[in-house]
Structure 1
Amino acid sequence: MRQTPAHELIEALDILLQRLNDFSTLLPQSNLPFWLPDEQISNLPQCAALFSDIWYRDGQDGRVTRSQHGLIGADDKLIDLAHSVNAAKQSFQTLATQHRLSQDSDLQNQLTRRESFLAETLQHHGYSRLHLRQCYRLIPIIETRPVKIGFSWYTSGRSIKQLTPEQALQRLQKMDTSQTHIQMQIDALGHLMPGDMLAQLQTQVPVMRANLLWKQDDRMIRKARNVSLPMLILLQTGETLPEHNQPLSSPPEQRSRNLRSDLKIDPVPFLPSLRVHKYNN
């Protein structure tokens, strides 16, 4: 008999939990070098718990994930287990997405949210406190040792979505239009010229970025990636961790880059209730 989507989903989660358990059991047994800058996560057993942490804590905002950067030397067996964990994560995410879409095809724009029917399914099977964002994130694996890794906080990230005045008006009209500040913004839209476009800005949370450097023949190869978990680096016998810096444990409070003088978007909000700005002429 063919399994239902819900049973497939729970089975995929059980496989993921087993592989996380195998990985977290093997990791503390490693004798290879590692670097973990956080005092609260300073050894391999604590790090293993971080990799296996896919659950909510009381009062935790579902949009926030518990993150930690670092470097962990790994042998072939640990690397293989990490790949198996990542494969299980991807399988579970695919089934979770399909399960949600099978319930309601209009949810394609909400795939990053923990929808109520998925939560109810998990709760029915004893998994009510699963944190999907922490569940989906992959273990970062580096199978060719870099010569150098530079860590830095990226605090200037933001998403920009273009809106027409008509779209902005529709969104304002869904708010309490009896409020004076909403009416003022609706009136402001009436002064725009035909063809004007607006920009809706969303500041992104600071992320740790790793800049990796490899030397290949006479060339230097660079690659950057965001990291929310310590990176596993395949080390051969006698190899050490790559050269690396030690960034601040928390991001700076201000943007790390100065605003460009030719910034195309007016930094002053045009429609504050929507975080919408005008483009400079």
Structure 2
Amino acid sequence: MTAPDYPAYHRMQHLERCFDDLMAALDILATQYAAQCPPTWMLSPTADPSPDGFRAALFDVWHQTGQDGRETRNYLGIVVANDELVDAARNVNIAKDAFHAGLQKIKSTTPKALSGAKAQLTTRHPDVHRVLRKEGLARLHLKQCWRQLPIADAEVAKVRFAWYQSGRSIKRITVRDAEQKLLRLDTDASHIKMQLRRLAGLPSEEPLAQVQTQAPLMRANLFFSHPLADGHTRRALNVSMPLFVPNERLGMPDIKAPPTQPQPQRTRATRRDEKLESDVFLPSLRVYRYR
């Protein structure tokens, strides 16, 4: 091995250790959950709150075949946790943060090694490897690996769940950026040629907006039994995994449950301050012009 390879090799070793630490932390949490069988509520009537179901949710860190890489599978619910279980969940989050940081380091320094890293990591834990082999699932799902377990700061009296569906991200790009993105597509296709012609008619200095509609999020509004040290009595969290509440004394909080799936959005009037044109300018890139 040549000298320039050593840094990348050590980064990969560090990432493997972080992944092993994460798998170990998940195993400890799943084992403690199985030993305690704490009060658990799940939003979906088909969700499995048993120890085996809880373990499967924790270790769901892979893409299913054909799954959109932007999608994540949710396991929405509440676990009434004692101090031991809360500590185990916090240790999982610490391990998730370390794993995420290791991945970002590889992505920023040796991005070509990222695909190989994802393939190699799937073989490093028997639970993951067994399911991959049995179900024929695809590569590691990084977002599902590092997404945090939501943990309430204190005892919770009420939890109100609600779907948040109006989110979208808007990235400002230049005409040159848009052209380069189109040229990476099938430039022999008629619809790409048409979009390149439309783009050529714009001034080079005109800003454009690339819009990405975000997947619906579940938001949990927590109402604490007593004010926190900072005086707050409630807090909102985006959740995709079971919410751990330190309610061993109080038991399950009062829950307002939403529909198990987000409802179709109602048509809303266009805001007067809407900055983008209503019609997409470059459909293949989801690019709009500013008004």
Would the TM-score normalized by the shorter structure come out above 0.5?
yes
Is 1:99–1:118's contact at 8 Å kept on the other side of the alignment? no
| Alignment TM-score, normalising by the size of structure 2 | 0.80
Deviation of 1:152 after TM superposition, in Å, equals 1.0
1:70 aligns with: 77
| Cα distance between partner residues in 2 of 1:84 and 1:164 | 43
- Alignment of structure 1 residues 102-251 onto 2, 5 Å: 102-104=109-111, 115-122=114-121, 129-192=139-202, 195-214=205-224, 216=227, 221-237=233-249, 239-251=250-262
Structure 1: 5+ residue stretches without partners: 108-113
Deviation of 1:201 after TM superposition, in Å, equals 0.7
Picking from 54, 68, 71, the partner of 1:47 is 54
Is 1:213–1:220's contact at 8 Å kept on the other side of the alignment? no
| Alignment TM-score, normalising by the size of structure 1 | 0.82
1:275 aligned onto 2:286: yes
- Alignment of structure 1 residues 250-261 onto 2, 5 Å: 250-254=261-265, 258-261=269-272
Counterpart of 2:72 in 1: which secondary structure?
coil
- Alignment of structure 1 residues 22-61 onto 2, 5 Å: 22-30=28-36, 32-45=38-51, 46-61=53-68
Query: AA paired with 2:288?
Result: H
Counterpart of 2:156 in 1: which secondary structure?
coil
Give the number of aligned pairs.
269
1:86 aligned onto 2:93: yes
Deviation track 1:108-152 (CA, whole Å, cap 9, x = no partner) reads xxxxxx932213433675768433221111111113123322211
Q: For residues 102 and 74 of structure 1, do their structure 2 counterparts lie closer, same or farther at Cα, with a shift above 3 Å needed?
A: same
Query: AA paired with 1:144?
Result: A
CA RMSD of aligned residues (A): 2.9
Task: Report the identity percentage.
Answer: 36
| Cα distance between partner residues in 1 of 2:122 and 2:142 | 13
1:5 aligns with: 11
Deviation track 1:65-116 (CA, whole Å, cap 9, x = no partner) reads 2212111100000001111111112222222333444434xx7xxxxxx932
Deviation of 1:41 after TM superposition, in Å, equals 1.7
Is 2:78–2:243's contact at 8 Å kept on the other side of the alignment? yes
Structure 2: 5+ residue stretches without partners: 1-6, 133-138
Is 1:6–1:121's contact at 8 Å kept on the other side of the alignment? no
Is 2:106–2:114's contact at 8 Å kept on the other side of the alignment? no
